Chain A
């Protein structure tokens, strides 16, 4: 497969907390880095610190782009100064000074990388924490794009909210995941905000035929993913559809508690605990309905993958990203957050109606292609052109 190269090859830097920390941002930035490289851009993925222990994402050996990690080890963490007591705390003061000196040193390394860029270069900061280093570096001649890879509501509840307002205000563009999130940020009076959806991670040649009596869920077993809610909903569905099973892929701290909950709800027999899978396309191909029960999301990849496999989704409508991906009643169903009765009702609708499942599944596979890699890379290149105009 040969794609025409970009009209104007550029130097593109991704700056994240870490180059290879387990999680969505790492997968996303390496996917984008690969796509940009294929288009002939010169990509460099920069991480500020090494990932914490046990959270390492193994990268392929043959990356078509460079990676750099600034710090050898995590710099000392400091609290913000509050009140006189903090100001008089000499130990803390010394740590702070050391940290600031360290930050300048590392930012200088980054400046050196940036200086080597040809005109038209782009710096994409994927996390606001990393922006603190970019802000100290020299970015003259480059366009800086800051990103918030979560929904506005999630960010608002965290300490990142104030930092986004402070550090992204002067970037050439700030990007959120959806138009709706962007509008929220604009109303916070950040007038430089646009949006950029995530690209589809894969598009399988063979979709699911939705004939297996199987509902699939994929995700870490963490309370944020709301598997407890899914089990509650399943307990309303399972007795009426004893021939159906719920397959839960993923592992995590909640595994034990969730098994116990399933037993208490009397659905242990119809729930299959599959553990972590390395073959997501395979898992999805064997499903007929996909359940996304998260309490919070940004622009979730799992339902996109399910839709690409022509599996219709039922999801809690917890973020603009979710409603951007799933069109309620057309290629999937949305339930109000936490409303397990509605969630169960939607699952049941799809379970009991093969025809509807087929219509929605095919529609999903069709509709999700608006986030194909070609589409998204094209949007990025338009954006690069815009910030340069």
Chain B
């Protein structure tokens, strides 16, 4: 008995069959047989199969069905009957097995006694240059694992529905009478569902076992196979229903749910995407088929898919075509806003209506996506083409741009232009002004004509495809839209154009729809000679000279990329810039890796300006230079200018770290202000660093040894940070933090005046005088959750409702996290995360709520109440990297763990100010003894005083 029998099915594929069979015969496992089943091909397939059988007697056998069965199911069924091996695998005639596949499968099967062993299937795109690979649901195959039942891993059941990347115990197939359904599409789906459910044990192995060869077929879908598409969909639903029945029978509700999720995420999306381009009758039939099936989908499944997927399914179910068709646009173009949205009771909904349906309201609620917080230039708006016609050399177009939540106000000054640009980058583009732009409430109407023949001058050959965008200017802010073609007919055909290089190849341009549903144009040739020339060019491009030219071009591109790569920049820094003379009186400032103009570097910079020193200030930024001062030299982090500035600077002033690999010149003085006292373990006190080898540690140490001065604000810092960074005593500067000078002074002023003064920030944020200001400033957390964003640990709406009459809550998330607030809390809860400098916010706040953030050490200087909302204390302290001291013991304010306790504490907020007064004083003495309000001045005096004019 052979170890493994491989059933190879073939239909009209005589050329590729031998390769498939050879991949079995070449297996490292020797005792493998091949059973070829020909589905009554009309070409030489069966002859080839018989020939292979003759050449490899005893290893290859060939069979033929009496008549064509129309799908892969029946040939496999017949194949199974003829197999003799202990295990059975399936292979299609255009694919191959990995060299070790059979041995790996067999080993796993024998070791575990599994009925099914499944390995990684890899799709190889044979038409691409490097045979692009695509691993089929690779996440299921990251490690070897054995399942006692498929219910342990519903994802396997719902996602990996291939029958080919698997090895089945033959007796298992026979005893359970496992067969493929006859003459139906998606035969794999049914077979594999049956097999998974019948298997007593399944083993997954991470090895590649099956190479699925993908050949791009250039056939354009025509109307005639629309019929075919509908049959397809009907078959798919039929199979789904049968599988659902199986699950129902066995009471597997979890599996059904997982399958429902997959249906919404995958199956439905595949068919929905084409819907905008289909006729009315097609849509009706589609909806008819879908509606019945959607009714069986569990409401819970809607919560587990992306909002737009749930929205589309819901709207389809409701037959709400008017809203569904635009929604499909967002399904295809994820970040597009294709609906005008609706605000209702302080929440944001995808569309108006369905508010009386609780389920619909939940599905359509898109508040958490945060559309309402985005300015118009951050929104990708739907722009639906409503008219397209041609007259002679001119195209005339009209359309409507969605105006969600009235983000474009009625009185706005609007201008727009239509931009044609070649899809291949860095070639030319042409613009045409938009003639009419009219605000119509939910939409913006526009129309224009473009004299394409006269104005659009492509090069020819290299710029065949042209994309069209409409860029809209709203009161000086630009947003760019794409033109969506849905029901509009692109009437008129090709327009004449005059390419600059040659008219031999193309002399017309013709509109078409891109895969994402947008209007685009392509160059075409109307004359016969053009076609011939095109063929010649194609041959040249694919021939020897073309290949050489393309290779050269690629090399040049790689070279350019490597020249500006990090490594080369480092080399330039060390070998060129560092040899230039130091520029006297230059300081490079940086705060939080260039993300902000803030913190102690800013305080030092401002003190230097205040004293009127004569020096050149260079600020590093990453992202946007907006909000940085105008009268300094701004350099983008990691740019050549930045590296040059650093190499030549007399001083570096930073609060976190300049790029680790940059060596500091001995002539440069590095003042490291640091950005906060430590609660959690830092530097070499972190387990992760302790675990590294001495060599790795010394690399890290080199970057820390660049510090010439390190600011500390207490002996606690000396015992923790300085020790953790292994800094020398002479490096330490016991001056306090310049950023905290303002806080110390603020407290002094309050004591002198006998009351608290509010700065200009209160008015800017629109905070009424009679409201108490609380600040919520949690520490950084790794983000998870449905939308991959940081979620507040309490219900802000509940908070606003409860305390909104007395308090304004400011929320400042860590600069790496992002929060979204619903409109309901407007005026009561304010997001202040985007502001660079936290100090004025601290000064404004009458109380602070935090968890483990080092902001506690700074805020305590103000001697105002603190609340510690440590909802994940155990996890954070024990499972994380550990802390230097026990927060519960030293906290100068109440520590709460639950939302209810948090509310209780806030209720008694005022009384706590007194209760914890002593604790706060102790806390400041311990953690902020050197913060005396003169840090910036003393540092400037010590290092920069000689620069006075």
Contact = CB atoms under 8 A, between A and B. Distances in A.
Contacts of B882: 339, 341
B690 A229 contact: yes
A86 interface: no
B100 A191 contact: yes
A92 interface: no
Given A183-B142, A183-B143, A389-B3, A191 B207 contact: yes
B691 A338 contact: yes
A295 B28 CA distance: 38
Interface stretch (B67-75, B662-670, B681-689, B917-925): B681-689
B397 interface: no
Nearest to A341: B882
B144 interface: yes
B686 A338 contact: yes
A189 interface: yes
A337 B688 contact: yes
Interface string A168-197: 000010000001101100110101101000
Of listed A180, A186, A223, A386, residue having the most chain B CB within 10 A: A186
Interface residues of B, number: 31
A192 B206 CA distance: 11
A316 interface: yes
Contacts of B28: 172, 192
A242 interface: no
Contacts of A182: 144
Interface string A90-115: 00000000000000000000000000
B104 interface: yes
Contacts, number: 64
A194 B882 CA distance: 38
B691 A187 contact: no
Nearest to A226: B691
A207 B773 CA distance: 67
A229 B691 CA distance: 9
A196 to B, nearest CB: 12
Contacts of A183: 142-144, 206
B687 A189 contact: no
B143 A223 contact: no
A192 B31 CA distance: 17
A338 B688 contact: yes
Contacts of B104: 191
Nearest to B99: A191
A224 interface: yes
Interface in B97-122: 98-101, 103-104, 106-107
Contacts of A389: 3, 29-31, 103, 106
Interface in B138-185: 142-144
A187 B98 contact: no
Contacts of A189: 208
Interface residues of A, number: 27
Given A191-B99, A338-B688, A179 B144 contact: yes
Contacts of B29: 389
Given A183-B143, A191-B100, A223-B694, A338 B206 contact: no
Contacts of B690: 229, 337-340
B903 to A, nearest CB: 34
A223 B693 contact: yes
A318 B688 CA distance: 11
A180 B143 contact: yes
Interface string B683-725: 0001111111110000000000000000000000000000000
Contacts of B207: 186, 191
A4 B794 CA distance: 69
Interface string A234-261: 0000000000000000000000000000
A246 to B, nearest CB: 18
Contacts of A342: 687
A214 to B, nearest CB: 25
A336 interface: yes
Contact of B206 (A172, A187, A296, A341): A187
B328 to A, nearest CB: 37
B691 A295 contact: yes
Nearest to A337: B691
B30 A338 contact: no
Nearest to A172: B28
Interface in B1-58: 3, 28-31
A312 to B, nearest CB: 22
Contact of A295 (B143, B693, B881): B693
B883 to A, nearest CB: 10
Contacts of B206: 183, 186-187
A191 B30 CA distance: 17
Interface in A211-242: 223-224, 229
Which are the 10 A-B pairs with shortest beta-carbon distances? A338-B691, A338-B690, A338-B687, A337-B691, A339-B687, A186-B206, A183-B143, A191-B207, A191-B100, A192-B100
22 contacts: A183-B143, A186-B206, A187-B142, A191-B207, A192-B28, A192-B100, A223-B693, A223-B694, A229-B690, A295-B693, A336-B687, A337-B691, A338-B686, A338-B691, A338-B692, A339-B687, A339-B690, A339-B881, A342-B687, A386-B103, A389-B29, A389-B31
